[in-house]
Amino acid sequence: MKYLIVNADDFGASRGINRGIIDAQRHGILTSTSLLVDAPLSEEAAKLSRVAPDLSVGLHVRLTNGGSKSVAAQGDGDHCRAELRRQFSRFEELIGQPPTHLDSHHNIHRDLRLLPHFLHFAREHALSLREHSPIRCFTKFYGQWGGESHPEQISPASLARMLEAELEKGVTELSCHPGYVDPDFSSSYAAERRIELQTLCDPLIRQFLAGQSIQLINHREAASLFATSAT
């Protein structure tokens, strides 16, 4: 059986991104999202998640060291561990329960100096960490590289082709970044978010998944699936 988690990063980053994520879950194939607990609209995101009970919410860790400089630049393990604990606690305050999964902004957990701390934290709290769990991660649904926009990469036809070619048996997570464009939100990845949203809500994609017998699940359901298979 092929299972697909569709997870949106950056929940809480802006009002438009929050709206886009909720719309992608209500009208499209989105099943999960990852929350930035210190973002300007994180509290709004938490409130929206309460009216979307089928949306599983994970922790999207963002690490900085006293400002905009990434902690990964210094390999600061102490700061990383402290931030993981603090952001986990803040997540529980906002959502009212622990996260269903763990990942990081710009995939900072890939840094080999920080990865051991993320792995330890994920094991401690029984969380799946992106790229370090039985869930295969699919990251090609992204409309920008080399400093240029590539909207063709995130079209419905392109997504269907990629999933048909690369989706394997078991559970796969498709990471995505849908949202509406806020005029006051500064990001190098802006117009592409609206295109991603349109693609995730396109009927062609649902038809494709049904035709391929691909079942949509969220991270909470995936955890139950693994627990059942282990018994």
The token pair that represents 228 in the structure block: 């059942």
Please give the C-alpha separations between residue 54 and each of 177, 188, 197, in angstroms, as whole numbers: 19, 30, 18
**Per the residue annotation, which of 9, 103, 111, 182 is the catalytic one?**
9
Residue 68: the pLDDT is: 45
Query: What is the structure's pLDDT at 190?
Result: 92
Please name every residue paired with 129 in a beta bridge, in sequence order, or none if there are none. Answer: 102
Q: How many other C-beta atoms are found inside a 10 Å radius of the C-beta of residue 81? A: 16
**Which tens digit of pLDDT belongs to each residue from 136-178?**
999 999 999 998 999 999 999 999 999 999 999 999 999 999 9
Looking at every residue in the chain, the average pLDDT score rounds to 93
| Residue 219 pLDDT > 50 | yes
Residue 143: its pLDDT value, please?
97
pLDDT at 77 over 70: yes
Q: What is the distance between the alpha carbons of residues 182 and 191, in angstroms, rounded to a whole number?
A: 10
Task: Pick the closest to residue 85 from 109, 115, 61, 67 (CA basis).
Answer: 61
Q: What is the mean pLDDT of residues 9-14?
A: 97
List the Cα angle 10/14/17 in 5-degree steps.
60
Cα dihedral sign for 211, 216, 26, 35?
A: negative
Task: Give the residue-averaged pLDDT of 216-222.
Answer: 97
Question: 85: pLDDT confidence band, cut at 50, 70 and 90?
Answer: very high
pLDDT band of 231, cuts 50, 70, 90: low
Q: What DSSP string describes 120-188?
A: HHHHHTT-EETTSSSSEEE-----EETTEE-GGGGSHHHHHHHHHHH--SEEEEEEE---PPPTT---S
Distance of alpha carbon 11 from the chain centroid: 8
Q: Which residues pair with 59 in a beta bridge?
A: 35, 102
> Which pLDDT value is given to residue 214?
97
With beta carbons less than 8 A apart as the criterion, state whether 30 and 200 touch.
yes
Look up residue 52 and give its two tokens: 């979307």
Q: What angle do CA 221, 227, 231 make, to 5 degrees?
A: 145
**99: closest CA among 50, 34, 54?**
34
What is the rounded distance in angstroms from the CA atom of residue 194 to the CA atom of residue 199? 9
Spans of all domains in the chain = 2-230
9 carries an active-site annotation? yes
Read off the amino acid at residue 92: E
Which position has the higher pLDDT, 186 or 6? 6
The partner residues of 215 in beta bridges, in order of sequence, read 3
> Percent of the chain beyond pLDDT 70?
95
Of 28-37, 61-70, 99-108, 151-160, the least confident: 61-70
State the architecture of 2-230 in CATH terms: Alpha-Beta Barrel (3.20)
Other Cβ atoms within 10 Å of 98 Cβ, number: 14
Kindly indicate the confidence band of residue 187, based on its pLDDT and cuts at 50, 70 and 90.
confident
Rg of the Cα atoms in the chain:
17
